[in-house]
Amino acid sequence: MWCDGRVNEDVARPAAGASTTADVGRLGGFAVELAEGAAEVVRRGADRALATTSKSTSTDLVTEVDRASERWLVDRIRERRPDDAVLGEEGGERPGSSGVRWLVDPIDGTVNFVLGIPAYAVSVAAEIDGEVVAAAVCNPVTGEVFRATRGSGAWLGEQRLHGPRAVPLERAVVGTGFGYDRERRDRQGRVAARLLPLVADLRRIGSAALDLCAVASGRLDAYFEAGLNEWDYAAGALIAAEAGCVVTGLRGRRPGDGIVAAGGPALARDFFDLLERLGADEVL
Ligand code: IPD
C-alpha cells in the first residue's frame, strides 16, 4: 500500500471499530505522553547504558534501560487502557480486546545509546484494527518530540512538518540502515555501494524511527531499510506520511513488507524505481 498525504481523507473517516477523530486525537495525546515519559526513564538511566546483553546476534544489544523503559510503557498502557493490546521490542506482548494495539520501541538506536551518540529515540504508535493512526517519537537527548495523528498532519513541537525539499536523485542525501545478521549486512552493503555514486550522499544515523522523522522534517531527502521490525518504523512511517511523504514497500507492497522506503513526492518515483533496480528489497 502506498502511504502518503493523499490517504488522509480516508482515515479521517471513522474506521471499522467506529473510531472517531476524537478517539484518534486521544490516542495521539497519549502516544506523546508515553514517548515523553519513557524518554525521561531513558534519560535517568543514561549512566547505566554500558550494562548490555545481546539478542539476535552479538551486536544486537539490549540494556537494562531498554527493559525499564518498556516496562514503564507497558505499565502505563495497562493502567490507562487495560483493554488495548501491546507489542514491544523487548518482549512486552499482551493481547487486547479493544481493537487498539500499541507498538512500542523503548529505545530505537540502542547501539547509539550505549556509545553515547545522541541519536536514539522512544517510538510509540497506536493502531486501530491494524492501521496506525497515532504516533510519537521522542529523542531523550534533544527533547524533540515528533508526532502525528492520521489526517491531522505531522508536527515537531509547534512546527508543522512538510517533508524534504524537491531535489533530483543526484542531489539527494539518503538515509539507510543495516540489520544485525552478517550475511544480510553484506548484501545491504553491496546495495549501498551501488547507490552511493547515484545520489549526493548516504547517512547511517542508527535509529530507523529518527530516520523517518528526518525525512518528515527535511533533514534527509529519502530513506530506505530492509528487514525492519514493526516497532522500529510504525510511528516514524505515519509521521513521514502525514508530512506529505510517500512511504511504501517496493513492487507494490506495503511498507514493512520486506523494506520501508520513504521520500518526498518529487523524488519518490525515481528513488523507488532505482531501489527496485538495485534489488534493495532482495537482501533478506
Ligand atoms: C535498530 C535501529 C537501526 C536499524 C536497525 C534497527 P534497535 O533498532 O533502528 O537504525 O538499522 O535495523 O534494528 O535495535 O536499536 O531498536
Q: How many CB atoms lie within 10 A of CB 76?
A: 16
Number of residues in the chain: 284
Average pLDDT over residues 110-121: 96
Q: How far is the CA of 77 from the centre of ligand 1 (A)?
A: 23
Q: What is the pLDDT of residue 52?
A: 72
Residue pair 122/234 in contact (Cβ under 8 Å)? The answer is no
Q: Which residue ranges have their beta carbon within 6 Å of ligand 1?
A: 89, 105, 108-110, 177-179, 206-208, 225, 228, 232
Confidence check: pLDDT of 104 > 90? yes
Of residues 207 and 92, more confidently modeled: 207
Q: How many CB atoms lie within 10 A of CB 61?
A: 19
Residues forming beta bridges with residue 100, ordered by sequence position: 128
Tell which atom from ligand 1 comes closest to the C-alpha of 60.
14
d(CA 29, CA 249): 28
Average pLDDT over residues 77-93: 94
Protein residue with its CA nearest to atom 12 in ligand 1: 179
Q: How far is the CA of 23 from the centre of ligand 1 (A)?
A: 30
Lookup result for grid cell 496506525: 132
d(CA 275, CA 249): 10
Of residues 11 and 256, more confidently modeled: 256
Q: How far is the CA of 264 from the centre of ligand 1 (A)?
A: 22
Q: What is the pLDDT of residue 59?
A: 78
Confidence check: pLDDT of 228 > 60? yes
- The domains located in the chain, with CATH, are 9-160 (3.30.540.10), 169-278 (3.40.190.80)
Q: What is the pLDDT of residue 61?
A: 74
Of residues 276 and 58, more confidently modeled: 276
Q: How far is the CA of 15 from the centre of ligand 1 (A)?
A: 31
pLDDT grade, residue 241 (50/70/90)? very high
pLDDT averaged over every residue in the chain: 92
Confidence check: pLDDT of 127 > 60? yes
pTM of the model: 0.93
d(CA 178, CA 203): 11
pLDDT grade, residue 46 (50/70/90)? confident
Q: How far is the CA of 231 from the centre of ligand 1 (A)?
A: 10
Confidence check: pLDDT of 34 > 90? yes
Kindly report, residue by residue over 164-178, the tens digit of the pLDDT.
999 999 999 999 999
Q: Give DSSP secondary structure letters for the chain.
A: --BSGGGHHHHHS--TT---HHHHHHHHHHHHHHHHHHHHHHHHTGGGTT-EEESSSTTSEEEHHHHHHHHHHHHHHHHH-TT-EEEETTS-EE--SSSEEEEEEEEETHHHHHHT-S--EEEEEEEETTEEEEEEEE-TTT--EEEEETTS-EEETTEEP-------GGG-EEEE---SSHHHHHHHHHHHHHHGGGSSEEE--S-HHHHHHHHHTTSSSEEEEES--HHHHHHHHHHHHHTT-EEE-STTPPTTSSEEEEE-HHHHHHHHHHHHHHTTTS--
Tell which atom from ligand 1 comes closest to the C-alpha of 208.
9
Q: What is the pLDDT of residue 8?
A: 31
Kindly report, residue by residue over 131-177, the tens digit of the pLDDT.
999 999 999 999 999 999 999 999 999 999 999 999 999 999 999 99
Kindly report, residue by residue over 207-216, the tens digit of the pLDDT.
999 999 999 9
Burial tier of 269 (Cβ tally within 10 Å: 0-12, 13-18, 19+):
exposed
Mutate to test the pocket of ligand 1, among 89, 181, 207 (most ligand atoms within 8 A of CB): 207
Mutual angle of helices 182-195 and 265-278, in 10-degree steps: 120
- Residue 114 identity (one-letter amino acid): V
Backbone angles phi, psi at 140, to 5 degrees: -65, -25
Confidence check: pLDDT of 246 > 90? yes
